[in-house]
Structure 1
């Protein structure tokens, strides 16, 4: 039990740190201790070839790597994955895939994937997006009451967000409950962590949906399509491009879920009236 506590404390230390700050409020300054989230650079190699450097929150990194490779089209099933070796010291993930996988750098355009929203990958601007995003036909249905309950449950689980305010949170749900939650400084990373976990556990995505803490960007909707999710719930606004993708790929996009209201932007037949 002592060992488990020590490991938990070490993991907790990697995710966040404390910093003395000068806080100003209502005309007065005071010294406080603030909690800030950590950033970690993980360079992914596939069959000895460098693919990308992902800036992430340093937990569930195997989930992240597997989900990232699947969403980028490097692997199409978990059976194509032979081995994943992650070195915390070197900041590397070395992946071996089956001989049937042909990783072509020209298609995947080595790039630095930042944690922020500034120069994100845009819809179908990359070869792999056009070949991995798929039409979603899942007939899952959800009621307004369930929408609010799932968003409340997701936010209740968001411990690191409450402490730092510096991460995104994504939860995989059924209409009745939250099944799995992941946080990360990058919204795409949080979704990849969910994707990787479900692939390694060979979980079916039928009847599942995703609740998300941020806005609905094109990247978030594309990730949901790649995972095979038919409904995505978000606390904030969608972008126009995100809704174009949702229309095209059959995804029900629900935004502004807060304070007893929400807006359904696409494929409203999944929301019970």
Structure 2
């Protein structure tokens, strides 16, 4: 499979495109004062993913990077194996489908009968046997420096994005050290992380020295996908679910949440964290500001 070109940005390899006319639409409404207002809202469209000749799922997505989304979804569901050879990816925008073709013949009829709806805002799906992929999983050793976490949070939270432009969307960022590399957005946080997974697969990028930063809740699905990608740390401004914490502890994933200003909570894998930051140099958020900034995911 021929590698795709990486879209360069002055800070990111792939960055959000808040100005893209394909990703938002202008609509009018009435304000609380009874006046007509105009604002941009995020587009949402279906994308049906096929693996060879078999229809796997229809995802609701903003429509960017469909190839990355399809490959990442299939890999995170255990349908694309690490040694699979991808022979082609065909995206048809008109009929909103993407077909991933492999040398290996595939048939997942039985697997497709066992699936669980997840808590993703656009309704995520995890197939019933996905936990089997975590058995015996060992995540790589890593060092997570608090100076890097604070630097990443500041840069990511001020990056022009669809979230800042229109809201109603989640972002997930693949990072290395104090540098954010790939920033994906979507109506469901599970889609955003699948896009990153697809990017690492198609570009042949190793994940052992990376971490994921997400704007959404640290749920079981987010923890599972991060672990299956071989990434040792998952960080969020938002909070946790109990099952997400339990799975993170089972697989040894470093899980950091409620990161606002200089504050954060680590509920798993704290042994990887090196507290090298000078907290006096990190601007904190007043409690009122933290409550005000809390979105529906928090």
TM interval, shorter chain, is 0.7 to 0.9
Structure 2 counterpart of 1:57? 62
Taking structure 1 as the reference length, the TM-score comes to 0.87
Structure 2 counterpart of 1:95? 100
RMSD over aligned Cα atoms: 2.3
Structure 1 counterpart of 2:23? 15
Q: Is the 8 A contact 2:44 2:187 kept in 1?
A: yes
> How many Å apart are 1:98 and its aligned residue?
1.3
Structure 1 counterpart of 2:154? 152
Structure 2 counterpart of 1:244? 246
Structure 2 residue aligned with 1:106, among 99, 106, 110? Answer: 110
Structure 2 counterpart of 1:261? 263
> How many Å apart are 1:120 and its aligned residue?
4.2
Compared CA separation, residues 119 and 17, structure 1 to 2 (3 A):
closer
Question: What SS is found at the alignment partner of 1:13?
Answer: coil
C-alpha separation in 2, matches of 1:132 and 1:97: 24
Q: Per-residue displacement from partner, 1:155-206 (whole Å, max 9, x unpaired)?
A: 2225111011111000000122101110011111000000101111111112
Question: What SS is found at the alignment partner of 2:107?
Answer: coil
Normalized per residue, the structure richer in helix is: 1
Structure 2 counterpart of 1:184? 186
Q: Is the 8 A contact 2:29 2:36 kept in 1?
A: yes
Structure 1 residue aligned with 2:43, among 38, 42, 49? Answer: 38
Unaligned runs of 5+ in 1: 1-8
C-alpha separation in 2, matches of 1:129 and 1:209: 21
Unaligned runs of 5+ in 2: 1-16, 276-298
Taking structure 2 as the reference length, the TM-score comes to 0.80
C-alpha separation in 1, matches of 2:42 and 2:56: 26
Paired residue total: 258
